Amino acid sequence: MTVRGVIALIPDACTSCMLCVRECPTWCISLQAHPEQVVDEGARRPRTVNVLDAFAIDFGLCMYCGICVDVCPFDALEWAPDHDYGAATRAGLVQPMERLAAWLAPP
Amino acid sequence: MKWVTSPPASAYRLAGDLGVRVVVANLGLACCSMEVEAAVARGLLVPDDGQDPESTVLLVSGTVTDALAPAVLSARDHLDGEVVVVSFGACASTGGPYWDAPTVTKGIDQLLPVAGYVPGCPPRPEALVAGLLDVLRDRP
């Protein structure tokens, strides 16, 4: 459960399914991905997978409802305890994938 | 309609020796103000003692509607000296959950220059202190 912290991302678990982006009440998540073909030995045709290019949460808009955490089918979004991420500019509240991933401290 | 002429603000100082002498005027407009009160209750902020501050912060905590916008400007004008405006919480920063509401100001930076933003809905009291220190230490 939340400690009233921040929402972190596990990029490797994200399949770019867009569920969190579409369910967010404030539309504060942005996601960019592109499809790539994976050729498996012996398969009839290549597999298509989505590769995550960019993921950002605008914490100026986020209402910390946790719906994105709940709907993620692969648990790629998680609550993290950090709270000190203020910014001097409006754009500084938008946290990119690297920062979101860094919030999850190794256990 | 007549607007408030004196700010409905309560003044605090940062507790402890954090290297900054600041008066925080809390313009509490909605639930974020509860977190400012929580910071007071936990001793992170103490009531203003009237000494001359290095900086004066106008902390806008809560939803600003377009109808209320003149009151925010009035609050700034009623504080002495140079006023550093800090936006506390999602509503004051961007409109937050009310991003789609026609009557809500989409961030107080549409009204006046903002020196710092503290994200959260609402932010924790610790985030308030950290945000204030960030703003004040970065100033020349």
Do residues B101 and B95 touch, judged by C-beta distance below 8 A?
A: yes
Terminal Cα distance for chain A, rounded: 17
Residue A1 maps to a domain: no
Helix (H) or strand (E) segment spanning residue B136: helix B125-137
Give the model's pLDDT for residue A3. 67
Do residues B63 and B109 touch, judged by C-beta distance below 8 A?
A: no
Split at pLDDT 50, 70, 90, the class of B86 is very high
Specify which residues A88 forms β-bridges with. Answer: none
Residue A102 maps to a domain: no
Residue A66 maps to a domain: yes
Cβ contact B90–A61 (<8 Å): yes
Residue A52 has pLDDT above 80, yes or no: yes
CATH number of the CATH domain containing A10: 3.30.70.3270
C-alpha span between B64 and B19 (Å, rounded): 31
Q: So what's the architecture of B10-137 in CATH? A: 3-Layer(aba) Sandwich (3.40)
Query: Which of A3, A58, A65, A85 to mutate: most B Cβ within 10 Å?
Result: A85
Give the model's pLDDT for residue B9. 53
Residue A100 maps to a domain: no
Q: Is the Cβ of B112 closer than 8 Å to some Cβ of chain A?
A: no
- Domain boundaries defined on chain B: 10-137
Q: Name the residue type at position B120.
A: G
Mean pLDDT of all residues in B43-50: 84
Q: How many structural domains does chain A have?
A: 1
Q: Is the Cβ of B88 closer than 8 Å to some Cβ of chain A?
A: no
Cβ contact A90–B96 (<8 Å): no
* Domain extent at residue A37: 6-90
Structure tokens at B84: 């550093």
pLDDT top residue among A16 and A4: A16
**Tens digit of each residue's pLDDT (9 = 90 or more) over A3-14:** 678 999 999 999
- The least confident of B54-58, B105-109, B136-140 is B136-140
Give the model's pLDDT for residue B38. 92
ipTM for the complex shown: 0.84
Mean pLDDT estimate for chain B: 85
Which residue in this structure is represented by tokens 């012996």? A42
Q: What is chain B's alpha carbon radius of gyration, rounded to the nearest angstrom?
A: 14
Residue A62 maps to a domain: yes
Residue A65 maps to a domain: yes
Give pTM, 2 decimals.
0.87
C-alpha span between A15 and A72 (Å, rounded): 10
